[in-house]
Each structure stands twice: as structure tokens, then as C-alpha cells.
Structure 1
């Protein structure tokens, strides 16, 4: 059995690719639903990424910021969900 493990960086690159290549971004937000989730809704589809707690999500958002073209969107998410 092959088990594929994706790192936080791998997931950040995947989501950044979606954000960088979409034509329309309809929703980009962080919310709590059992876990802390990042919701991305674009013309390419609806995607979610989950972390166990808000501190891990904050680290993920900082990692994601390195890969996106429009860093302001991620900066806004970090600011709106400032947990420090």
C-alpha cells in the first residue's frame, strides 16, 4: 500500500496554484467547524484545508503567503484572524 503524505508546504503550494490560476475568487476565509478550516471558492471549484488549531492554521497561512501572487489576500486573512 502506498501512502502519500503531504506536508504543510505541499498543501500550501497546491492551494497557491489554485489561487494563482483562477479567474474569479468568490470566497477566501477561515472558520471553525470542529477544526479550523480555510475555505477557497473559485471558478475552478470549492476547496477546504483543515488544521487542528488556530496556531497551526496561522503557520499554514504564513507558508501559503510565500507561494501566492496576491499576497494582500493572505495578509488580510492573517490580520483578520490574528491570534497572537
Structure 2
């Protein structure tokens, strides 16, 4: 009659060794996953920093062009007001 006991109870030493190997493999995989998460974190921080610098540059360009436009409007407005002084009614 065949034994109903599982293979784990028949060879406990081999089973323990296999479990330890699996645990070691899982630990290595989790360390690799941990390292990958750090790499992802660093990559995301670098990406955010680049995006922030690009955004600052875009804002600077927009503000610069707005200042130039406002100066042009101021100058044209001043010239318009001065021109109105000399226009006959």
C-alpha cells in the first residue's frame, strides 16, 4: 500500500535545504526589487528636476516677452497721449 505521507515529511533535511534555497532566492529578488525601486526613485527625481527647470525657463521666457510687450504698450501709450496733446480738436 502506498504511503500517504507527503514528500516533505519523508525527507525533512532535503526539504529544509530546498526551502532555504528558495528563501535565499526570494531574498535576492527582493533586494533586486528594492534596488530597482531606488533607481526608479532617483530617476523620477531627476526627471522632476529637469521638468522643473524647463518650467522655470518657460515662465522666464513668457515673463520676459510679457515685460517687453508691456513696455511696448507703455511706450506706445505714452506716445499716444503725447500725440493727443498736439492734435487739434
TM-score, shorter chain, exceeding 0.5: no
Compare the two structures and name the one with the higher helix fraction: 2
Normalising by structure 2, we get a TM-score of: 0.22
Compare the two structures and name the one with the higher strand fraction: 1
Q: Determine which structure has greater relative contact order: mean sequence separation of CA pairs < 8 Å that are 6+ residues apart, divided by chain length.
A: 1
Normalising by structure 1, we get a TM-score of: 0.23
Computing the radius of gyration from Cα coordinates, the structure with the larger value is 2
